[in-house]
Amino acid sequence: MSQILEGNISVKAAILAEQREIRQIMIEKKKYNHDTRFILNQAAKRNILINECTRDEIDQLASGKTHGGIVAICEERSYQSIETLQNEEATFLALLEGIEDPFNFGYVIRALYAAGCDGVIIPPRNWNSAAGVVAKASAGAAEYMNMVIADDLQETINACKAQQFSLVCALRSDRSLNVYEYTFPKKIVLAIGGELRGLSSVVKQASDQDIYIPYANDFRNAMTAASSAAILGFERLRQTIK
Protein backbone atom coordinates (compact mmCIF):
# COMPACT_ATOMS: atom_id res chain seq x y z
CA MET A 1 0.00 0.00 0.00
CA SER A 2 1.46 3.34 -1.04
CA GLN A 3 1.76 6.28 1.35
CA ILE A 4 1.74 9.99 0.62
CA LEU A 5 4.18 12.35 2.35
CA GLU A 6 3.48 16.04 1.91
CA GLY A 7 5.60 19.18 2.04
CA ASN A 8 9.30 19.98 1.78
CA ILE A 9 10.24 18.84 5.30
CA SER A 10 8.57 15.44 5.11
CA VAL A 11 9.72 14.66 1.57
CA LYS A 12 13.28 15.74 2.28
CA ALA A 13 13.38 13.61 5.45
CA ALA A 14 12.12 10.56 3.58
CA ILE A 15 14.82 10.92 0.95
CA LEU A 16 17.68 11.49 3.40
CA ALA A 17 16.60 8.91 5.98
CA GLU A 18 16.37 6.12 3.39
CA GLN A 19 13.92 4.17 5.56
CA ARG A 20 11.47 3.64 2.71
CA GLU A 21 11.37 3.28 -1.07
CA ILE A 22 10.10 6.40 -2.83
CA ARG A 23 8.22 5.64 -6.03
CA GLN A 24 8.06 9.20 -7.29
CA ILE A 25 8.06 12.83 -6.28
CA MET A 26 5.34 15.05 -7.66
CA ILE A 27 6.11 18.76 -7.75
CA GLU A 28 4.06 21.67 -8.97
CA LYS A 29 5.32 23.12 -12.22
CA LYS A 30 7.67 26.08 -11.69
CA LYS A 31 7.47 25.57 -7.89
CA TYR A 32 11.18 25.86 -7.32
CA ASN A 33 13.06 27.38 -4.39
CA HIS A 34 16.18 26.54 -2.38
CA ASP A 35 14.51 23.63 -0.54
CA THR A 36 12.85 22.06 -3.57
CA ARG A 37 16.05 22.29 -5.60
CA PHE A 38 17.89 20.45 -2.85
CA ILE A 39 15.15 17.79 -2.72
CA LEU A 40 15.16 17.28 -6.48
CA ASN A 41 18.95 17.11 -6.55
CA GLN A 42 18.95 14.40 -3.86
CA ALA A 43 16.13 12.56 -5.63
CA ALA A 44 18.07 12.58 -8.89
CA LYS A 45 21.12 11.09 -7.12
CA ARG A 46 18.92 8.24 -5.91
CA ASN A 47 17.21 7.75 -9.30
CA ILE A 48 13.80 8.68 -7.90
CA LEU A 49 11.22 9.55 -10.54
CA ILE A 50 10.31 13.26 -10.57
CA ASN A 51 6.98 14.25 -12.05
CA GLU A 52 6.07 17.87 -12.72
CA CYS A 53 2.31 18.39 -12.48
CA THR A 54 -0.41 20.92 -11.71
CA ARG A 55 -1.53 22.11 -8.30
CA ASP A 56 -4.88 20.40 -8.81
CA GLU A 57 -3.20 17.04 -9.41
CA ILE A 58 -1.27 17.38 -6.15
CA ASP A 59 -4.39 18.51 -4.28
CA GLN A 60 -6.13 15.30 -5.32
CA LEU A 61 -3.39 13.21 -3.69
CA ALA A 62 -2.75 15.32 -0.59
CA SER A 63 -4.90 15.30 2.53
CA GLY A 64 -4.95 19.09 2.80
CA LYS A 65 -3.76 22.29 1.20
CA THR A 66 -0.50 22.73 3.14
CA HIS A 67 1.67 20.51 0.94
CA GLY A 68 3.50 23.49 -0.58
CA GLY A 69 3.32 22.01 -4.06
CA ILE A 70 5.30 18.84 -3.42
CA VAL A 71 4.42 15.28 -2.37
CA ALA A 72 6.16 11.92 -2.41
CA ILE A 73 4.49 8.61 -3.18
CA CYS A 74 6.24 6.02 -1.02
CA GLU A 75 6.25 2.43 0.13
CA GLU A 76 5.88 1.50 3.80
CA ARG A 77 8.95 2.30 5.87
CA SER A 78 11.39 -0.30 7.17
CA TYR A 79 11.56 -1.34 10.82
CA GLN A 80 14.44 -2.39 13.03
CA SER A 81 15.16 -4.93 15.78
CA ILE A 82 16.41 -4.47 19.33
CA GLU A 83 19.65 -6.26 18.45
CA THR A 84 20.48 -3.86 15.61
CA LEU A 85 19.93 -0.77 17.78
CA GLN A 86 21.80 -1.63 20.95
CA ASN A 87 25.20 -0.04 21.54
CA GLU A 88 27.70 -1.26 24.11
CA GLU A 89 28.38 2.22 25.48
CA ALA A 90 25.00 3.93 25.63
CA THR A 91 21.64 3.47 23.95
CA PHE A 92 18.44 5.42 24.54
CA LEU A 93 15.25 3.67 23.44
CA ALA A 94 11.66 4.62 24.23
CA LEU A 95 8.65 2.33 24.55
CA LEU A 96 5.40 4.07 23.61
CA GLU A 97 1.94 2.79 24.57
CA GLY A 98 -1.59 4.12 24.34
CA ILE A 99 -0.82 6.97 21.94
CA GLU A 100 -3.58 6.67 19.36
CA ASP A 101 -3.71 10.06 17.67
CA PRO A 102 -1.21 10.39 14.78
CA PHE A 103 -0.57 14.06 15.56
CA ASN A 104 0.32 13.22 19.17
CA PHE A 105 2.45 10.31 18.02
CA GLY A 106 4.32 12.65 15.68
CA TYR A 107 4.86 15.22 18.45
CA VAL A 108 6.26 12.52 20.77
CA ILE A 109 8.65 11.26 18.09
CA ARG A 110 9.75 14.84 17.39
CA ALA A 111 10.62 15.47 21.05
CA LEU A 112 12.38 12.16 21.53
CA TYR A 113 14.43 12.44 18.36
CA ALA A 114 15.56 15.95 19.29
CA ALA A 115 16.59 14.65 22.72
CA GLY A 116 18.79 11.96 21.20
CA CYS A 117 16.57 8.89 21.27
CA ASP A 118 18.03 6.07 19.19
CA GLY A 119 14.74 4.31 18.49
CA VAL A 120 11.19 3.71 19.67
CA ILE A 121 9.38 0.48 20.46
CA ILE A 122 5.73 0.58 19.45
CA PRO A 123 2.83 -1.90 19.43
CA PRO A 124 1.56 -3.25 16.09
CA ARG A 125 -0.68 -0.77 14.34
CA ASN A 126 -1.44 0.14 10.77
CA TRP A 127 -0.12 3.71 10.48
CA ASN A 128 -0.19 3.53 6.67
CA SER A 129 -3.11 5.90 6.30
CA ALA A 130 -1.57 8.35 8.77
CA ALA A 131 2.06 8.28 7.63
CA GLY A 132 1.80 11.76 6.15
CA VAL A 133 0.31 13.21 9.35
CA VAL A 134 2.96 11.59 11.51
CA ALA A 135 5.77 12.80 9.26
CA LYS A 136 4.43 16.35 9.24
CA ALA A 137 3.68 16.51 12.99
CA SER A 138 7.16 15.20 13.76
CA ALA A 139 8.80 17.69 11.37
CA GLY A 140 10.32 14.74 9.54
CA ALA A 141 11.74 13.10 12.68
CA ALA A 142 9.54 10.02 12.21
CA GLU A 143 11.42 9.28 8.99
CA TYR A 144 14.80 9.39 10.72
CA MET A 145 13.74 7.61 13.92
CA ASN A 146 14.43 3.89 14.16
CA MET A 147 11.31 1.92 15.05
CA VAL A 148 10.79 -1.57 16.49
CA ILE A 149 7.39 -3.24 16.22
CA ALA A 150 6.58 -5.18 19.39
CA ASP A 151 4.33 -7.96 18.14
CA ASP A 152 4.68 -9.60 21.55
CA LEU A 153 5.39 -6.93 24.17
CA GLN A 154 6.62 -9.34 26.82
CA GLU A 155 9.05 -10.95 24.39
CA THR A 156 10.30 -7.52 23.31
CA ILE A 157 10.88 -6.49 26.93
CA ASN A 158 12.71 -9.76 27.57
CA ALA A 159 14.89 -9.10 24.51
CA CYS A 160 15.73 -5.64 25.86
CA LYS A 161 16.71 -7.01 29.25
CA ALA A 162 18.79 -9.71 27.62
CA GLN A 163 20.76 -6.86 26.04
CA GLN A 164 21.25 -5.28 29.49
CA PHE A 165 18.71 -2.48 29.04
CA SER A 166 17.00 -1.01 32.11
CA LEU A 167 13.26 -0.46 31.74
CA VAL A 168 12.34 2.89 33.30
CA CYS A 169 8.66 3.84 33.43
CA ALA A 170 7.23 7.35 33.50
CA LEU A 171 4.81 6.51 36.26
CA ARG A 172 3.79 7.67 39.74
CA SER A 173 3.94 4.73 42.13
CA ASP A 174 5.02 3.94 45.67
CA ARG A 175 8.58 3.51 44.46
CA SER A 176 8.76 6.40 41.99
CA LEU A 177 11.76 8.70 42.07
CA ASN A 178 11.81 12.37 41.15
CA VAL A 179 13.34 12.52 37.67
CA TYR A 180 15.66 15.34 38.78
CA GLU A 181 17.04 13.13 41.57
CA TYR A 182 17.45 10.09 39.34
CA THR A 183 20.56 9.11 37.38
CA PHE A 184 19.66 7.59 34.04
CA PRO A 185 21.45 4.34 33.17
CA LYS A 186 23.55 4.24 30.02
CA LYS A 187 21.32 1.67 28.34
CA ILE A 188 17.70 2.58 28.90
CA VAL A 189 14.24 1.85 27.59
CA LEU A 190 12.06 4.76 28.72
CA ALA A 191 8.38 3.74 28.80
CA ILE A 192 5.83 6.52 28.21
CA GLY A 193 2.08 5.98 28.11
CA GLY A 194 -0.72 8.05 26.63
CA GLU A 195 -2.64 10.41 28.89
CA LEU A 196 -5.81 8.30 28.95
CA ARG A 197 -4.66 4.69 28.87
CA GLY A 198 -1.19 4.96 30.35
CA LEU A 199 1.13 1.96 30.50
CA SER A 200 -0.06 -1.64 30.43
CA SER A 201 0.37 -4.06 33.33
CA VAL A 202 2.96 -5.98 31.29
CA VAL A 203 5.21 -2.92 31.21
CA LYS A 204 4.55 -1.85 34.79
CA GLN A 205 5.38 -5.27 36.18
CA ALA A 206 8.64 -5.40 34.23
CA SER A 207 9.76 -1.92 35.32
CA ASP A 208 13.21 -1.65 36.89
CA GLN A 209 12.46 1.85 38.11
CA ASP A 210 9.53 4.27 38.03
CA ILE A 211 10.15 8.00 37.75
CA TYR A 212 7.87 11.02 37.88
CA ILE A 213 7.96 14.68 36.88
CA PRO A 214 7.43 16.96 39.90
CA TYR A 215 4.91 19.79 39.53
CA ALA A 216 5.29 23.30 40.94
CA ASN A 217 1.53 23.64 41.50
CA ASP A 218 -1.09 21.28 42.89
CA PHE A 219 -2.06 19.81 39.53
CA ARG A 220 -3.42 16.27 39.60
CA ASN A 221 -3.64 15.55 35.88
CA ALA A 222 -1.07 13.89 33.67
CA MET A 223 1.19 15.74 31.29
CA THR A 224 0.70 15.05 27.60
CA ALA A 225 2.84 12.24 26.24
CA ALA A 226 4.75 14.74 24.09
CA SER A 227 5.48 17.00 27.07
CA SER A 228 6.62 14.04 29.17
CA ALA A 229 8.82 12.80 26.34
CA ALA A 230 10.47 16.21 26.03
CA ILE A 231 11.04 16.69 29.76
CA LEU A 232 12.37 13.19 30.42
CA GLY A 233 14.33 12.94 27.19
CA PHE A 234 16.11 16.24 27.67
CA GLU A 235 16.84 15.52 31.34
CA ARG A 236 18.59 12.37 30.21
CA LEU A 237 20.46 14.40 27.59
CA ARG A 238 21.48 16.97 30.22
CA GLN A 239 22.95 14.21 32.35
CA THR A 240 24.99 12.84 29.46
CA ILE A 241 26.59 16.19 28.58
CA LYS A 242 27.19 17.70 32.01
**Are 123 and 191 part of one and the same domain?**
yes
Mean pLDDT for the chain? 92
pLDDT of res. 168: 98
Distance CA 226, CA 23 (A): 32
Residue 126: pLDDT band with limits 50, 70, 90: low
Q: Give me the domain span that covers residue 155.
A: 82-241
Over residues 9-43, the pLDDT tens digits come to 999 999 999 999 999 999 988 777 788 889 999 99
**Are 104 and 137 part of one and the same domain?**
yes
pLDDT of res. 127: 65
Over residues 169-195, the pLDDT tens digits come to 999 999 999 999 999 999 999 999 998
CATH number for the domain spanning 45: value is 3.30.1330.30
Distance CA 92, CA 71 (A): 32
**Percentage above 70 pLDDT, the chain:** 97
pLDDT of res. 67: 80
**Are 207 and 139 part of one and the same domain?**
yes
**Angle (CA) 140 143 149, round 5°:** 135
Q: What is the mean pLDDT of residues 188-210?
A: 94
CATH number for the domain spanning 152: value is 3.40.1280.10
**Are 99 and 202 part of one and the same domain?**
yes
**Are 8 and 122 part of one and the same domain?**
no
User: Which of 18, 45, 74 is a domain's end point?
Assistant: 74
Tally of domains within the chain: 2
Sheet containing strand 147-149, edge to edge, reads 147-149, 119-122, 91-97, 187-193, 166-170, 209-212, 177-178
**Are 51 and 27 part of one and the same domain?**
yes
Over residues 33-83, the pLDDT tens digits come to 788 889 999 999 999 999 998 888 888 887 777 788 899 999 999 999 998
111 or 37, greater pLDDT:
111
pLDDT of res. 59: 84
Q: What is the mean pLDDT of residues 213-226?
A: 92
**Are 67 and 90 part of one and the same domain?**
no
**Are 127 and 154 part of one and the same domain?**
yes
Question: With contact defined as beta carbons under 8 Å apart, do 36 and 67 qualify?
Answer: no
**Are 92 and 178 part of one and the same domain?**
yes
pLDDT of res. 84: 87
Question: With contact defined as beta carbons under 8 Å apart, do 90 and 187 qualify?
Answer: yes
pLDDT of res. 125: 80
pLDDT of res. 130: 86
**Are 86 and 70 part of one and the same domain?**
no
**Are 193 and 92 part of one and the same domain?**
yes
